[in-house]
Structure 1
Amino acid sequence: MLIGFSHPDAAIVLTCLSYYYGGLSDQQIHASFEALLQSDYAMEEYARWVKDAPGLPVAFRVVSGVNLSNVEQCRRDVFGPLRSAKSIIDFYMANIVFPKEMKEFPNKLSSSGWDIAQEKAHPTTGFSGTNDSRYILPLSIAQCELLPQLPTNAKVLGCLLRPENSFVDIRQISNIGVLDAKSLLQMALSLEHPVRVILDVGAQVLELQNEEMVRKWLFLVLDSTAQAAIFFDRHNELCVLSRDRTVELFLTSPFAKQMDKCIVFLSGANLIGTHLDLPEDSMAIVTLGPGLTKDRLMQGNF
């Protein structure tokens, strides 16, 4: 069900199309059978299901022939032919989806970023670590330049321009002029000081998922350099991949207290708000990319 969509008619239509094209999962078909068996017209309704599922075996063309406790048999012989049957999809939406999701309330509460900027009796205040976006603030919002914070931009730029930091042109490490995962790892391995952190601020690693990236990296470095790799999985959970190829959450991993034995890969989407207590002598690679703003670069690094 499409949650939070403003137009109810469009939400209903899109929900129906989603189920009609995608079909029902095994769990959804099982839930439909449970609801069917509790109704007073189970036989008549099931006959409509059978009519829309010509591939259903003869033994299961009556509702009494379906044994839901035999999960393997249901998945093999029953659920498959019924998965895309329109009648069971209609039954599932009418009896399970819509009664729960289409509740109406007397008042609708909605807001947007412009509501925050609306002029009020009491001022709305906020904080930002950078001021690059001050030119696109709503007209009712003004940025106050605090005197002690005026040198902040110069200070963060000074950190990037410190002598221990260096810049590598992509053409020096890639023959095709494209910085991909392979070239990035080759550069990390070729540096004299071991690289423990890769911050993909410029979103250059596109061909690999985060776990695939750290898996390649971890098994290219020596055991003495790293015993585990830290990354964000597809569910945006901070995880640890160890050398025995097991993946566990960072908070419950023993490596959470052994950061000196870990390498870290963070994609651009996971940089802001992530704090890891890395050793002070850790060396990092930061990628740049087209359209990268100073504001985004600063937030990704600091």
Structure 2
Amino acid sequence: MVAPLITVLALVLLVPLVRLIMVSGQEYGLDQLIGGKPVRWVGLDNFVKVLTSQDFYDALWRTVKFVVVSVALTIGLGLALAHLLAKVSAPVRVFLLLSLVTVWAMPPIIAMPIWRWLIDQRFGVLNYGLYKAGLLPTRTFNWFAEPFTGWMVITAIVVWGALPFVVISLHAAMTAVSADHVEAARLDGAGAWRVFTAVTLPAIRSTLLIVTTLSIIWNYRVFAQIWLLRDIGANKDSYYTLGIWSYVESFSNKDFGYGAAIALVSVVLLAALSAVAVRHVLRSAADENGS
């Protein structure tokens, strides 16, 4: 019964990964792809080129900063909204959950044109509203003229798209917290913050670790939001994450071997990060079962 699933996964994941490994060890450009020029094996030369390039460390540092900030905002806002869902009335809760599901169901490729219209330099609703509120000096503010404001927009959009899963998951975990424990803490004189940190947070720790791990993996792999928005302004190199850099080297510069090496290094880093995160999740689950 498991064989069909394993077969599909092997075809979808394993075969491309093996091909990626092969190309990363080759001199493989447009001449080899369509020009008939024979492929030349270069061994680890592409990886040496990646690891000795300053562009790699710039892209890695940019990726790390983006992941840390976006995940921190996603989890922080997710906890606040999940707690809010438990306090509002049933009709409001249903409305909020439906809104979250709608956001979660919208693919980034569809959401990005809407966001591009909202932040448009000349006709954007966001610019108009902030200008009328006195928060912008001009209505024609280009958010992507500078990397700092451009990354602010990208991070906000990524957090917006990631919040539904986090909020719904944490809300479900919070509803399973024992009401008796909460009531006992309140009878002992604990305030709302103390109840949350001493009762609710330990009870939802496993779920919190899981959604944090998934958020790290997903935000590390963010591509469409950055790629579709970076063309609005200048300084496009300032928006290179590892994924964007690999794509540019492969399909813009037509150096598929070098791009494959970048992608493979990125995969190895993500696999190592995922292994550490999963280990913490399993350890947390084991501690809870032991207690």
> Which gives a bigger RCO, structure 1 or 2 (Cα 8 Å, sep 6+)?
2
TM range (shorter): under 0.3
Q: Counting helix residues as a fraction of each chain, which structure ranks higher?
A: 2
TM-score of the pair, normalised by structure 2: 0.26
Q: Counting strand residues as a fraction of each chain, which structure ranks higher?
A: 1
TM-score of the pair, normalised by structure 1: 0.25
